[in-house]
């Protein structure tokens, strides 16, 4: 058993991770919503796909900006309250 403390989080790594994650999740749900919205009207099919992908990109950007802000605030507050204690247990192999 080891005791560690999280004192700093890389804002850039949080931004990159949540940007890619947000684009993937946003595109999946956006495409599903766009395709379901265009059922029965072939003219809307292309708009549904385009709208879904656009939604994914916008969702990824917004999610990554708010996540990076959260990481930056964590780093700011962590200097005052001395971070977050974490207890790790070694896994038996």
On whether the CB atoms of residues 44 and 38 are closer than 8 A, the answer is: yes
Higher pLDDT, 31 or 7: 7
Q: For the chain, what is the mean pLDDT?
A: 84
Residue 14, pLDDT above cutoff 90: yes
State residue 23's pLDDT score.
Answer: 86
Mean pLDDT of 27-40: 76
State residue 63's pLDDT score.
Answer: 92
């Amino acid at each position: 058993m080891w005791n560690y403390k999280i004192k700093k989080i890389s804002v850039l790594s949080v931004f990159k991770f949540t940007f890619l994650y947000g684009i993937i999740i946003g595109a999946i749900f956006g495409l599903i919503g766009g395709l379901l919205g265009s059922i029965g009207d072939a003219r809307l099919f292309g708009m549904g796909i385009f709208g879904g992908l656009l939604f994914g990109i916008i969702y990824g950007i917004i999610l990554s900006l708010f996540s990076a802000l959260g990481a930056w605030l964590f780093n700011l507050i962590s200097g005052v309250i001395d971070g977050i204690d974490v207890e790790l247990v070694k896994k038996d192999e």
